[in-house]
Amino acid sequence: MIRVGIAGLGFMGMVHYLSYEKLRGVKVAAIGETNKKRLQGDWRDIQGNFGPAGKMMDLSGIDTYTSLDEMFEDPNLDMIDITLPPAMHADLAIKAMKAGKHVFCEKPMSLNAADCGRMLRASQNTGKHLFIGHVLPFFPEYAWALKAARSGKHGKLLGGSFKRVISDPLWIRNFWSAEHVGGPMLDLHVHDAHFIRLLFGMPSSVVTHGRQRDGLAGYWNTQFCYDKTQTAVNATSGTIDQQGRPFLHGFEIHFERATLVFEFAVIGKEGKYLCEPTIFDNKGKAKPVKLPGGDPMDSFATEIREVVTCLRQDRPSTILDSDLARDAILLCHKQTQSLLRGRSVKI
């Protein structure tokens, strides 16, 4: 049995807790949180943009800590799951690994590449696994695209367009703070930066144009440039001020013999496909693709299942790899530099 301590009990901490409950061979054995009300099981004030609402929970049999340092020293824990704000990720992950615990840390890995480097070195020096919670590749549409790219069934991967736009998330505290969350570049687009890195590797440079807000990227378009290839990759991301469409994401991914597309949005309070997952083949046909699942909570459970499997087999994850997560942060910062400087930036 793998015993886990969750550090931070906000919306994502709740999502992870509920995901662990669906899995065998793993158990939430401890929770670290300064909010004593939540440690007593009252989660009714927890809210997010998907999933179930918070409710009263029975936490009997789970050790609770108001000090994370004390929880990290608990000899009965195998892994710490960090779901606190990004500015806290690096120091807490390093403390946990030095205390002999494996770490599963929510995205973004950290707010800058230097802190990501510190986390990587701590993992190497302690021999403890460091997984970063990039859940996007476990969503049905993105898992479909990743499987197609890895299998080679449609021929060579040529490029793609990616889109991720939300209404200004008024419910996220300090969203527009570079020191705490990092705005839409690091909290939102980092998903696609990671997926682009996973599919295509690191580009040689980026060119970004768009709007700024408080010195942060607000809404933008980026061209990812690859040397000596015809790979064409671009992404659109950011926020809009109108609250009528809280969320939109999608892609168009090009292979030699097929193009994969989809687009999904929440309009008002209704989530729906604007373009259902579809494959355009080289015979001129457009084929809708029925994918399993669809509940975001299922994707988080699949992501955590990957962590548990890797721990049991004592191996890294090809998706939740900390080097990939560090590269995603680097890509985000290079895009911001390009936007602010008004020119191409080398990686």
Residues 6+ apart with CB under 8 A from 190: 107, 108, 134, 328, 329, 332
What pLDDT tens digit does each residue of the chain (347 aa) get? 999 999 999 889 999 999 999 999 999 999 999 999 999 988 888 876 666 777 888 889 999 999 999 999 999 999 999 999 999 999 999 999 999 999 999 999 999 999 999 999 999 999 999 999 999 999 999 999 999 999 999 999 999 999 999 999 988 889 999 999 999 999 999 999 999 999 999 999 999 999 999 899 999 999 999 997 789 999 999 999 999 999 999 999 999 999 999 999 999 889 999 999 999 999 999 999 999 877 888 999 999 999 999 999 999 999 999 999 999 999 999 999 999 999 999 99
CATH node for 2-133: 3.40.50.720
- Please report which helix (H) or strand (E) contains residue 166, including its range: strand 157-167
Number of helices (H) and strands (E) in the chain: give both, helices first. 10, 15
- Per CATH, the architecture of 136-300+328-346 is what? 2-Layer Sandwich (3.30)
- Three-state secondary-structure class, residue 277: strand
Phi, psi of 41 (to 5 degrees): 100, 0
> Within 10 A of 244 (CB to CB), how many other CB atoms are there?
9
HSE-CB for 239 with a 13 A CA cutoff: 20
Task: Give the pTM.
Answer: 0.95
Question: Residue 164's pLDDT is what?
Answer: 98
Cα 233 to Cα 226: distance, rounded to the nearest angstrom: 9
- Three-state secondary-structure class, residue 26: strand
Any idea where the domains of the chain sit in the sequence?
2-133, 136-300+328-346
**CA-only gyration radius of the chain, Å:** 20
Fold: same for 2-133 and 136-300+328-346: no
Sign of CA dihedral 12, 14, 19, 24: positive
Question: Residue 51's pLDDT is what?
Answer: 65
Question: Residue 45's pLDDT is what?
Answer: 84
